[in-house]
């Protein structure tokens, strides 16, 4: 049977470890939030078609891609802060009037820098999503669903999703 001293030490170590994990998780978002536009309404990017189905695709055929058009239909400029993916099998590249940047990958498995690209009112940007159906090897056959996230200011990240049925 454990002594009270051993239980107390184990409890303290657990609290310190959980606190450290919590602080590490919060430290990933160190960017200063964008100011809220005048009128108190948060501007956000709009996408006409946030989902695409590639249908049946073959691992042997290689990568497939899809471009998603984003539009700033507000009266305020919007700063795209980050672009990242939900899986290592997916990458994304951002195209704005300032050129292209990327590719971006999954947090923790690829480089996801703060990019700070501004999209002026009425202007469009494009996110090209590339999916590698062979990335997961033979275990990766069947239906897959993946997402790319576009962070801009204080708004919820914009989610661009796709699905595919992967065959050998």
pLDDT tens-digit readout, 63-88: 999 999 999 999 999 999 999 999 99
Model pLDDT for residues 87-101, shown as the tens digit of each residue: 999 999 999 999 999
Q: Would you list the DSSP string of 115-134?
A: --EEE-TT-EEEEEEEE-TT
Average pLDDT, the chain: 81
Which of the 8 DSSP states describes residue 112?
Answer: -
Report, as an integer, the average pLDDT of 19-39: 41
Report, as an integer, the average pLDDT of 139-164: 92
Of 123, 127, 120, residue with least CA distance to 69 = 127
Domain positions in the chain are: 1-30, 45-167
Per-residue confidence (pLDDT) for residue 28, from 0 to 100: 41
- Residue 39 pLDDT exceeds 50: no
Per-residue confidence (pLDDT) for residue 26, from 0 to 100: 42
Whether this model's pTM surpasses 0.85:
no
Beta-carbon contacts of 31 under 8 Å, excluding residues fewer than 6 positions away, are: 81, 82, 114
Confidence of residue 52 (pLDDT cuts 50, 70, 90): very high
CA angle 142, 88, 18 (to 5 degrees): 110
Report, as an integer, the average pLDDT of 147-162: 90
CATH number of 45-167: 2.60.40.10
> For residue 78, is the peptide bond before it cis, meaning its omega torsion is within 30 degrees of 0?
no
Confidence of residue 50 (pLDDT cuts 50, 70, 90): very high
Output phi, psi for 88, to 5 deg: -70, -20
Per-residue confidence (pLDDT) for residue 110, from 0 to 100: 65
Per-residue confidence (pLDDT) for residue 70, from 0 to 100: 96
Per-residue confidence (pLDDT) for residue 31, from 0 to 100: 40
Per-residue confidence (pLDDT) for residue 108, from 0 to 100: 86
- Beta strands per DSSP E along the chain: 45-47, 51-58, 64-72, 78-85, 90-96, 99-104, 117-119, 124-131, 142-152, 158-167
- Residue 29 pLDDT exceeds 60: no
């Amino acid at each position: 049977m454990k002594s009270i001293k051993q239980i107390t030490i184990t409890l303290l170590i657990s609290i310190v470890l959980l606190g450290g994990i919590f602080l590490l998780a919060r430290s990933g978002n160190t960017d200063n939030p964008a100011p809220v536009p005048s009128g108190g309404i948060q501007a956000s990017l709009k996408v006409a078609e946030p989902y695409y189905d590639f249908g049946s695709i073959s691992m042997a055929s290689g990568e497939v891609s899809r471009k998603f058009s984003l539009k700033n239909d507000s009266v305020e400029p919007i700063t795209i802060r980050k672009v990242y993916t939900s899986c290592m099998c997916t990458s994304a590249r951002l195209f704005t009037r300032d050129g292209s940047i990327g590719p971006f990958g999954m947090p923790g498995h690829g480089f996801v820098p703060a990019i700070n690209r501004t999209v002026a009112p009425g202007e469009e940007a494009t996110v090209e999503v590339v999916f590698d159906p062979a990335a997961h090897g033979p275990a990766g056959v069947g239906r897959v669903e993946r997402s790319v996230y576009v962070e801009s200011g204080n708004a919820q990240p914009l989610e661009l999703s796709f699905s595919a049925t992967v065959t050998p």
